[in-house]
A and B are shown apart, each in its own frame.
Chain A
Amino acid sequence: MDIQSCVNIQTEWDIVAARQLGRNVAKELGFGVVDQARITTAISELARNIFIYAHKGRVCIEKMNDKGHAGLRIIAVDSGPGINDIRLAMEDGYSTSGGLGAGLPGVKRLMDEFQIVSSQGKGTEITAVKWIR
């Protein structure tokens, strides 16, 4: 049962809308306050990446249910320049985070599952899942 809702990311305000959407769904699913905040932060990071690097894309939130186990999936898609070296982008300390722990490795740590597909010139698709503990 996948119910998906999306927010198009074009302006900085759209990041807020994506956060709000994610938080609402997380709350609905019964995530605790800390996990709600983590999911929102992950969404915020992914949406910011789209806003800054790809300029245009969307963030979708999906409710998931795996044999009675509830979860939330974030899908961030853009048609930007793509990531040249994914291994490098997934390395701590790389990217613009500058010790803030942000960036893709930070998102990966906040979530339970993380997938990235990117091709140069075509864009990037990142999927991340968090399950209720």
Chain B
Amino acid sequence: MPFREAMEAKYRDILAKYIEEQKESTLYLAQKFSRKSIENQVTPEEIISLHKMILQEMYPEMPTYVTHSFDLLLEIMLGYGFAYREHQSLRHQQKELRSEIEIAANVQHTLLDTKIPVVDGLDIGAISVPARLMNGDYYNFVQDENQCISIAIADVIGKGIPAALCMSMIKYAMDSLPGYRNEPSVLLENLNHVVEQNVDPSMFVTMFYGIYNHEHHLFSYASAGHEPGFFYDGKKKGFTEITARGLMLGIDKKTKYTQYEKKIEPGDMIILLSDGVTECRTSEGFVEKDTLLTYIDKYLHLSAQEIVNRIYKDLEQLQNFQLRDDFTLIILKRSV
């Protein structure tokens, strides 16, 4: 290693310089030296030994008590060297783990990828951002040949890898139930069976599922304990919470879900979200629902995708760019 070979001469030079005159510029050289030696994996005990050796060379008449004191210091610093090596090895492991998780996140991204449908008269925007590398939220759109668009939004209680693994399963369970796509309550009942049987009892999933009939502008939906979204009334210019009752998926296999319907008029909006949106925490506590609605109101004139993007940016800033939970927000806007 070139640094190691030059290390001795370099250290001798710096030490001699500093003993001669105690200048800040020499101390700066010493700082650069230590950075370089850390880069080259030189351990603390090696530095002590080097220091002692060079000092002995420079001052052969150096008292023996100084020499002995360095032996003691070396023994002490060996312990630090010991901890330092473990730290290095743990850092290396952490890097490996992180790149493994990044790959997993990419795989998840591909698995859960969904395209936002493009239809006349309906403007759809969606955003989903994980708090960590992997997302425990999930949304999915399916557009069928009968002018119906299904929307699913789900949240695994918990975040990170376990939640993400569970979510991949939900997605495939949904894909395997195409026959129930038009019946939100039946779909949730079937998914509930799958989750109840396959997912760890400590894990719960909330889901909101709806189908938008583009011909009659009728929105049918059911909820399995999911964070309530909002309807925006374009005429009254006001928001109402979407009330839909239903137990979370995976709790009781006999759970039945109620299906609701709502006529969507021109200018109306459907706002769906995960609790990462309403549980945005700032130094002053949770972001109030009213705050969220004010934001939506502020951006009403924009396209659905622009609205969700802006709201995410605003709430991200409110929280000092530290997401505490996965964040998913969907807006469907019927054009006037």
A and B interact physically: yes
Binding site for B on A (CB under 8 A): 32-34, 37-38, 41, 92-93, 97, 99-102, 105-106, 109-110
Residues of B within 8 A of A41 (CB): 78-79, 82
Contacts A32-B49, A33-B49, A100-B79 given; indicate if A105 touches B86 (C-beta within 8 A).
Answer: yes
Is B95 in the interface zone, CB < 8 Å from A?
no
The answer to whether B83 and A38 have CB atoms under 8 Å apart is no
Is B286 in the interface zone, CB < 8 Å from A?
no
The answer to whether A99 and B74 have CB atoms under 8 Å apart is no
Is B197 in the interface zone, CB < 8 Å from A?
no
Is B71 in the interface zone, CB < 8 Å from A?
yes
Q: What distance in Å separates the Cβ of A26 from its nearest Cβ neighbour in chain B?
A: 14
Q: What distance in Å separates the Cβ of B273 from its nearest Cβ neighbour in chain A?
A: 39
25 sampled A-B residue pairs with Cβ under 8 A: A33-B71, A33-B74, A34-B45, A34-B49, A37-B78, A38-B45, A41-B79, A41-B82, A92-B86, A92-B93, A93-B86, A93-B90, A99-B86, A100-B79, A100-B82, A100-B86, A101-B85, A102-B82, A105-B86, A105-B89, A106-B82, A106-B85, A109-B85, A109-B86, A109-B89
Q: 1/0 contact trace for B63-93 toward A, CB 8 Å?
A: 0000000010011001100111111011001
The answer to whether B45 and A101 have CB atoms under 8 Å apart is no
Roughly how many angstroms separate A53 CA and B89 CA in the complex, as a whole number? 25
Q: What distance in Å separates the Cβ of A34 from its nearest Cβ neighbour in chain B?
A: 5
Roughly how many angstroms separate A34 CA and B46 CA in the complex, as a whole number? 6
Roughly how many angstroms separate A37 CA and B83 CA in the complex, as a whole number? 15
Residues of A within 8 A of B93 (CB): 92
Contacts A101-B82, A101-B84, A106-B82 given; indicate if A37 touches B45 (C-beta within 8 A).
Answer: yes
The answer to whether A101 and B46 have CB atoms under 8 Å apart is no
Tally of contacts, chain A with chain B, CB under 8 A: 48
Which residues of B (42-61) have their CB < 8 Å from a CB of A? 45-46, 49, 52
Residues of A within 8 A of B85 (CB): 101, 106, 109
The answer to whether A101 and B87 have CB atoms under 8 Å apart is yes
Roughly how many angstroms separate A33 CA and B90 CA in the complex, as a whole number? 27
Chain A residue at minimum C-beta to C-beta distance from B86: A101
Chain B residue at minimum C-beta to C-beta distance from A99: B83
The 9 closest A-B pairs by CB, nearest first: A101-B86, A101-B83, A101-B82, A34-B49, A109-B85, A37-B78, A92-B89, A92-B90, A92-B86
The answer to whether A38 and B78 have CB atoms under 8 Å apart is yes
Q: What distance in Å separates the Cβ of B234 from its nearest Cβ neighbour in chain A?
A: 58
Q: What distance in Å separates the Cβ of B1 from its nearest Cβ neighbour in chain A?
A: 13
Cross-interface CB contact of A100 among B45, B52, B71, B83, cutoff 8 Å: B83
Chain B residue at minimum C-beta to C-beta distance from A110: B82
Choose among A32, A101, A102, A106 the residue with the greatest number of B CB atoms under 10 Å from its CB. Answer: A101
Which residues of B (178-219) have their CB < 8 Å from a CB of A? none
Roughly how many angstroms separate A41 CA and B87 CA in the complex, as a whole number? 18
Chain B residue at minimum C-beta to C-beta distance from A102: B82
Q: What distance in Å separates the Cβ of A124 from its nearest Cβ neighbour in chain B?
A: 21
Roughly how many angstroms separate A102 CA and B74 CA in the complex, as a whole number? 17
Chain A residue at minimum C-beta to C-beta distance from B77: A37
Roughly how many angstroms separate A93 CA and B97 CA in the complex, as a whole number? 15
Roughly how many angstroms separate A100 CA and B74 CA in the complex, as a whole number? 17
Residues of B within 8 A of A102 (CB): 82
The answer to whether B74 and A34 have CB atoms under 8 Å apart is yes
Chain A residue at minimum C-beta to C-beta distance from B85: A109
Chain B residue at minimum C-beta to C-beta distance from A109: B85
Chain A residue at minimum C-beta to C-beta distance from B89: A92
Q: What distance in Å separates the Cβ of A16 from its nearest Cβ neighbour in chain B?
A: 13
The answer to whether A37 and B82 have CB atoms under 8 Å apart is no
Roughly how many angstroms separate A92 CA and B90 CA in the complex, as a whole number? 7
Roughly how many angstroms separate A37 CA and B80 CA in the complex, as a whole number? 13
Chain B residue at minimum C-beta to C-beta distance from A38: B78
Cross-interface CB contact of A97 among B45, B49, B75, B86, cutoff 8 Å: B86
